[in-house]
Amino acid sequence: MLFRQLEYLVALSRERHFTRAAEACHVSQPALSEAIRKLEIELDLPLIVRGRKFEGLTPEGEQIVRWARRIVADQQALKHEAAALRSGVAGTVRLGAVPTASATVADLTGPLCQKHPLVTVNLAEDLPSGEITSRIDRFELDGGITYLDDDIESRFRTFPLYREYYDLLVSVDSSAMDAKDTPGDSITWREASSLPLCALPSMMRGRRILDEFFAYDGATHTPRVETDSIASLYAHVKTGHWAAVVPRVWRHVFGEPPGLRCLPLASELEAPVIGLITARSSQGSALIRALEETAIGLEQQSSASPIER
C-alpha cells in the first residue's frame, strides 16, 4: 500500500468527482483512478460505486476513508513536528469560524502569526457550527471558532475565548431610538421584536440562540431578510428600513457607522461562550499545540468581552 493511494481516496471522498480530485492531487485522472483500483485489489474490498461517473463510496469505502483521513492527517502532523524541530513551528493552520465570531478571529490569528513567523492561516468564515465540527472530524480543518455548547465540549478540546453579548443595531431615525433618552440606553428583546428585522438563517446556531433570547422575554420574531453575513446585516440596517441583533464584539470592527446606533439588549439569560475547538482524538502537531496555546493566552486578554468567572 502506498501513501499516495490513501491521499487520492481522501481527495475523491472530499471532491466527489474524479477530475477535481486528480487536480487537487496534481495528477492525471487516469493515474488517480488506477491507484485507487490497485488499493481495492490490495484490500480486497470495493471502495467506489462505479458507473459512468463517480457515484459515491461503498459502505466499505466509507469505513476505509475514515482510516485514510486519520493516516493522512497524522502524516501532516509528523511533517509539522519535524519542521518545528528544525526551525520552529511552521505550516498552515486551517480554521473555520461561525459568522458571529468573524470579528474576533484576528485576536487569535494575529498573536499566533506574530509569535510564529513561519505559520500561515487559511480561514473559512461564515460556516454553520455543524459544518465546522464535521470538517474537523474529517481532518479538513485544524480548528474552529464556534459556540461551546455541551455537546461540543464532550466531543472536542475546547478553549473559551469570550461571552457573546448582543446589541440591537438600528438607524438613527428608527422608532426604537425615539423611545431612548440616551444612545446608551438598553432595550428589551420584546421591544426589539416589534421592529422589522433581518437576521442569520434559522439553520445557524447563532440564530437559534437569538430565538431563545426572544422566547425567554415572551416574544417571537420573523425576519423578512436572512443572510449568513454580519456585514450584510449592517448593510441592510444602513438602508433605514431594518434593524438587526448583532454580537457586541462587532463594535470593535465597525464601531457605530454614521447613521447607525447600537442599543444594548438586556436579558437575564446567560450569554453563550465562543471558543476555539480542536479534535479531541488528535495527538496534536506542534502547529495545533501553538494554536491552542495562543487561545489559552487570549482567554483573559481578548479585545472582546472576557469570560466571566
Alpha-carbon dihedral sign for residues 11, 99, 235, 256: negative
Could you tell me the pTM of the whole model? 0.78
Q: Which fold has domain 89-163+273-299?
A: D-Maltodextrin-Binding Protein; domain 2 (3.40.190)
CB half-sphere exposure, 196, CA atoms < 13 A: 11
Answer yes or no: same fold for 89-163+273-299 and 166-264. Answer: yes
Share of the chain above pLDDT 90, in %: 52
The closest alpha carbon to 79, from 158, 3, 15, belongs to 3
Mean pLDDT, rounded, for 258-262:
90
> Would you state the pLDDT for residue 282?
57
Q: Which of 149-163, 171-185, 259-273, 275-289 has the lowest mean pLDDT?
A: 171-185
The closest alpha carbon to 263, from 196, 194, 165, belongs to 165
> Would you state the pLDDT for residue 90?
87
Cβ–Cβ under 8 Å, residues 128 and 100: no
Residue 90's Cα: distance from chain center in Å? 22
Residue 75: which pLDDT band, with cuts at 50, 70 and 90? Answer: confident
Q: Is CATH 1.10.10.10 the right assignment for the domain spanning 3-80?
A: yes
Q: Name the 3-class secondary structure at 262.
A: strand
The closest alpha carbon to 174, from 246, 266, 237, belongs to 237
> Would you state the pLDDT for residue 251?
87
> Would you state the pLDDT for residue 308?
46
- State the Cα–Cα distance between residues 150 and 143, nearest whole angstrom: 17
pLDDT (tens digit per residue) in 80-123: 788 777 778 888 999 999 999 988 899 999 999 999 999 999 99
> Would you state the pLDDT for residue 72?
85
What lies within 8 Å, CB to CB, of 184 at 6+ separation is: 264
Q: What is the CATH number of domain 166-264?
A: 3.40.190.290
Helix, strand, coil percentages in the chain from 3-state DSSP, rounded to 5: 50, 20, 30
| Average predicted confidence (pLDDT) for the chain | 87
User: Is residue 133 predicted with pLDDT exceeding 90?
Assistant: yes
Mean pLDDT, rounded, for 53-74:
87
Mean pLDDT, rounded, for 44-61:
86
Cβ–Cβ under 8 Å, residues 201 and 210: no
Q: Which of 64-68, 252-256, 257-261 has the lowest mean pLDDT?
A: 252-256
Question: Angle of helix 29-43 relative to helix 18-25, nearest 10 degrees?
Answer: 100
pLDDT (tens digit per residue) in 169-219: 998 876 655 545 455 578 899 999 999 999 999 889 999 999 999 999 999
Amino acid present at 256: E
Cβ–Cβ under 8 Å, residues 87 and 188: no
**Domain ranges within the chain, ordered by starting residue:** 3-80, 89-163+273-299, 166-264
